[in-house]
């Protein structure tokens, strides 16, 4: 009965007049800006599902209080299009929150003769809180817009949200022959690059941190899912079979921290791929979805002045573990913090032992070789090795950690390297190999912690690079004034 009353109320809702709402610039509040992504409502396919969607949206918005809502496609896909969009708009206007609408591949299929043009006309007429109803003209697609987020006390743009139409299906037979789904077109990518450069110029040459939202995933999302990831990846996704090059352009620009989509209903993971977080929102409607997964939204917190964000899934059951960018870390990882050691070193430096062994093919074999040299150096450094090949080092030092938290150590080496923190193996990059990069996580408490690093060089080139990442900074060289000699 309640479901029927809800639908009747939506059908009887009067048109909202645009003059009733005066849009304000998007701004950080107390240093934070929160975004809620809802995706794939498939509104209208079943009445019980539309009621479920409405209850979930109300619960998430009331509990999370986003500053912006982004709908990433396949919103109204059943029943009468005009009726469905009146209902969606009424639901979104009820939140009293700015929101963006991005088309999916099914939205313009809901009813014959109702193209995306008509949908955005309705948004302009009925949806005063919709921030991309008037979108970028002269480029392919609908709803393309850069949403600027201003500083709390500063008119400058401190962050951006890119609303991008991933379109639906190729319009030419010769193109649809090779790709079922359409892609982000070249003029859209050119617009993004031009606008990104303008923002960068206004920001003293520094890329403005941003997130991008669209419906159909990129081919790179599949590659990201095949890496270690947080959330559900069913093993496949449905991008266009033509790579548009959007990821490459964003990689070069350096401003987009994450790209988040919908479309593939049972995927809801996030994973770092070449420095950009690629992910899916949580299914927001039950139609053709996994019944065991509660509908919900993906939330994002942007921090003013930081190239960083946090993201998590929220349902009517509550919030799930958070993901942290750029640390590429999840709350479920290394929840314990190793206590600081009871030491008081006085002298900066890294103690080392230098080995040589022509027959060694890994770290243990090298450490069984001849000890040639010992001493202290400012940082981890192999550049002064007396030999070009067949040598190794053992390094020991205390690292002064400034605050409790998760830490990611990263080692790039040619050949092998192994890192221990307070006796725990954190990175195993051993073996005879060319340049290779690996990382590991550990929770540490403020104070001194022992680092032991073993390295060996076989032949033909050598290198060793170690960095550390925190929730605030990524891949930072360990400064010499944080390293203390244990001897």
**pLDDT, position 411:** 97
Q: Helix 47-64 vs helix 81-94: angle between axes, to the nearest 10 degrees?
A: 20
* pLDDT at residue 444 tops 80: yes
**In the chain, pLDDT over 70 holds for what percent of residues?**
94
pLDDT class of 21 with cuts at 50, 70, 90? low
Q: What is each CA distance from 375 to 51, 379, 460, 479, in whole angstroms?
A: 71, 12, 26, 19
Three-class HEC string of the chain? CHHHHHHHHHHHCCCCCHHHCCCCCEECECCEEEEEEEECCCECCCHHHHHHHHHHHHHHHHHHCCCEEEEECCCECCCCHHHHHHHHHHHHHHCCCCEEEECCCCHHHCCCCCCHHHHHHHHHHHCCCECCCCCCCCCCCCCCEEEEEEECCEEEEEEEEEECCCCCCCCCHHHHCCCCCCCCCHHHHHHHHHHHHHHHHHCCCCCCCEEEECCCCCHHHHHHHCCCCECCCCCCCCCCCCCCCHHHHHHHHCCEEEEEECCCCCCCCEEEECCEEEEECCECCCCCCCCCCCCEEEEEEEECCCCCEEEEEEECCEECCCEEECCCEECCCCCCCECCCCCCCCCECEEEEEEECCCCCCHHHHHCCEEEEEEEECCCCCCCCCCCCCEEEEEEEEEEECCCEEEEEEEEEECEEEEEECCEEEEECCCCCCCEEEEEEEEECCEEEEEEEEEEECCCCCEEEEEEECCCCCCEECCHHHEECCC
Confidence (pLDDT) at 3: 44
pLDDT, residue 111, reads 84
Question: φ, ψ for residue 450 (rounded to 5)?
Answer: -85, 125
User: Which of 325, 326, 393 has its CA nearest to residue 363?
Assistant: 393
Compute the average pLDDT of residues 322-350.
95
Task: Please tell me the predicted confidence (pLDDT) of residue 22.
Answer: 60
Q: Place 168 in a pLDDT band, splitting at 50, 70 and 90.
A: confident
Mean pLDDT of 151-157: 92
Pairwise CA distance, residues 405 & 335, whole Å: 9
* pLDDT value at 407 more than 50: yes
Q: Does residue 141 have a pLDDT over 60?
A: yes
Q: How confident is the model at residue 357 (pLDDT cuts 50, 70, 90)?
A: very high
What's the CA angle centered on 390, arms 387 and 393, to 5 degrees? 80
Instruction: Name the residue with tokens 């009353």.
Output: 5
Pull the structure tokens for residue 112.
């014959």
**pLDDT value at 11 more than 70:** no
Where does the pLDDT of residue 257 fall: very low under 50, low under 70, confident under 90, or very high at 90 and above? very high
Q: Which of 74-83, 295-304, 350-359, 457-466 has the lowest mean pLDDT?
A: 74-83
Considering only CA atoms, give the Rg of the chain: 26
Confidence of residue 9 (pLDDT cuts 50, 70, 90): very low
Over range 340-348, report the average pLDDT. Answer: 97
How large is the average pLDDT for residues 115-132? Answer: 95
Greatest alpha-carbon pair distance for the chain in Å reads 87
Residue 302 has pLDDT above 90, yes or no: yes
Residue whose pair of structure tokens reads 């998590």 in the numeric block: 312
Structure tokens at 468: 């550390």
Whole-angstrom CA distances from 91 to 43, 48, 56, 58, 126 are 12, 15, 11, 8, 12
**Residue bearing the bigger pLDDT, 148 or 13:** 148
d(CA 463, CA 128): 58
Please determine, for residue 308, whether its predicted confidence score (pLDDT) is greater than 60.
yes
Question: pLDDT tens digits for 97-122?
Answer: 999 999 998 888 888 888 999 999 99
User: Is the model's pLDDT at 13 over the cut of 60?
Assistant: no
Q: Tell me the average pLDDT of the chain.
A: 91
Would you state the pLDDT for residue 121?
Answer: 96
Q: Give the confidence band of 163 by pLDDT, cuts at 50, 70, 90.
A: very high
Give the mean model confidence (pLDDT) for residues 287-308.
Answer: 86
pLDDT digits (tens, 9 = 90+) for 233-248: 886 788 888 899 999 9
pLDDT value at 20 more than 60: no
Buried b / exposed e across 178-207, counting CB within 10 Å, b at 16+?
eeebbbbbeebbebbeebbeebbeeeeeeb
Mean pLDDT value across residues 142-166: 96
pLDDT band at 287 (very low <50, low <70, confident <90, very high): low
Asked whether residue 88 carries a pLDDT value surpassing 70, the answer given is yes
Does residue 18 register a pLDDT over 50?
no
Of 44-58, 209-223, 363-377, 380-394, the range with the lowest mean pLDDT is 44-58
pLDDT at residue 379 tops 50: yes
pLDDT of res. 10: 41
Mean pLDDT, residues 63-85 = 94
Is pLDDT of 280 > 60?
A: yes
């Amino acid at each position: 009965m309640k479901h029927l009353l809800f639908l009747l109320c939506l059908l009887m809702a009067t048109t909202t007049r645009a003059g009733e709402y005066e849009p304000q610039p998007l701004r950080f509040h107390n240093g934070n800006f929160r975004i809620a992504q809802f995706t794939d409502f498939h509104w209208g396919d079943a009445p019980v599902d539309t009621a479920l969607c409405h209850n979930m949206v109300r619960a998430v918005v009331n509990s999370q209080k986003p500053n912006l809502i982004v709908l990433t496609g396949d919103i109204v896909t059943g029943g009468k299009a005009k009726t469905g969009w009146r209902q969606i708009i009424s639901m979104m206007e009820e939140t009293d929150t700015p929101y963006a609408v991005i088309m999916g591949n099914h939205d313009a299929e809901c009813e014959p003769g109702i193209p995306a043009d008509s949908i955005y006309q309705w948004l302009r007429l009925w949806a005063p809180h919709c921030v991309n109803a008037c979108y970028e003209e002269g480029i392919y697609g609908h709803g393309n817009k850069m949403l600027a987020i201003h500083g709390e006390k500063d008119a400058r743009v401190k962050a951006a949200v890119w609303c991008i139409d991933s379109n639906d299906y190729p319009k030419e037979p010769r193109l649809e022959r090779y790709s079922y789904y359409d892609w982000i077109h070249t003029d859209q990518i050119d617009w993004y690059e031009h606008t990104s450069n303008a923002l960068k110029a206004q920001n003293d040459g520094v890329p403005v941190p941003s997130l991008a939202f669209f419906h159909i995933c990129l081919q790179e999302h599949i590659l990201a899912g095949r890496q270690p990831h947080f959330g559900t990846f069913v093993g496949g996704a449905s991008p266009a079979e033509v790579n548009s090059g959007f990821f490459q352009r964003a990689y070069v620009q350096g401003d987009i921290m994450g790209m988040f989509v919908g479309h593939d209903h049972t995927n809801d993971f996030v994973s770092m791929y070449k420095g950009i977080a690629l992910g899916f929102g949580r299914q927001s409607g039950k139609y053709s979805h996994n019944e065991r997964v509660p509908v919900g939204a993906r939330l994002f917190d942007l921090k003013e002045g930081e190239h960083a964000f946090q993201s998590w899934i929220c349902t009517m059951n509550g919030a799930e573990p958070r993901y942290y960018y750029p640390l590429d870390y999840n709350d479920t990882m290394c929840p314990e913090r190793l206590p600081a050691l009871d030491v008081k070193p006085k002298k900066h430096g890294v103690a080392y032992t230098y080995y040589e062994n022509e027959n060694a093919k890994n770290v243990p074999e090298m450490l069984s070789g001849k000890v040639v040299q010992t001493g202290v150096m400012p940082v981890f450094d192999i550049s002064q090795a007396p030999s070009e090949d067949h040598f190794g080092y053992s390094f020991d030092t205390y690292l002064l950690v400034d605050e409790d938290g998760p830490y990611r150590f990263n080692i790039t080496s040619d050949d092998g390297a192994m890192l221990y923190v307070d006796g725990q193996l954190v990175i195993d990059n051993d073996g005879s190999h060319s340049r290779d990069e690996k990382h590991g996580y550990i929770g540490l408490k403020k104070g001194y912690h022992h680092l032991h690093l073993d390295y060996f060089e076989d032949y033909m080139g050598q290198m060793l690079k170690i960095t550390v990442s925190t929730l605030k900074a990524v891949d930072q060289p360990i400064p010499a004034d944080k390293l203390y000699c244990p001897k």
